[in-house]
Amino acid sequence: MSTRFLILLPLCLLATSCDKAKNLVEKARESGTAAVAPSGKAPTGPAVRDLAAEEFESFIASPGRLMVVDFHADWCGPCQTLGPVMERVAGEFPGKVYIGKINVDHAGDLPGKEGVSGIPDVRLYRDGKLVDKFVGSIDAGRIRELFEKHSAGIEAAPAGEAAPAAPEAEPVIQPMKKDWLPPGIERR
């Protein structure tokens, strides 16, 4: 048996589902290249972070910064091409431009509410107001132009400041209703 098989075998035996196995593999890959952030997600860069749908409003409302929201999906080829380009260009604007990535497959009805009809759908917000947007993949030069145009007049945040964090929401646990039944089942 190969060493690789012997290392991965215990991980697969511990995982009770394919999704858990995928998550374990992703965490193992990330642990070799980046430290895990306090939220449990690996940071993808100083100005880039994954957003949950409930963090959207607080993220875009960050004052004095250009907040870029990238609606994407893991299976989308143009999204996979655009993401690293935007991250690299955002690195040229430290403390001014922050990117929040929202996976449309995990965002519930937020993409529908925001009118996202195609991906990648990138929106630029300043002080909570939409200032520009584009759909599809564009080149680094055009992204740089947009970031320069909409971050003009913004003072860079102090060195070492990470992307604005959304307040940690405590999960709300409520007791089930006494008369609860699964969908499709009726009480006689």
Catalytic (active-site) positions: 76, 79
Instruction: Find where tokens 């519930």 sit.
Output: 108
Residue 79 is encoded by which pair of tokens? 């999204």
Work out the number of other CB atoms within 10 angstroms of the CB of residue 148: 15
For residue 111, report the phi and psi dihedrals to the nearest 5 degrees.
-60, -40
Containing 101, the helix (H) or strand (E) segment is: strand 97-103
Length of the chain in residues, anyone?
Answer: 188
Beta-bridged to residue 122, according to DSSP, are 70, 134
Residue 155 is encoded by which pair of tokens? 């003072």
Type of residue found at 26:
E
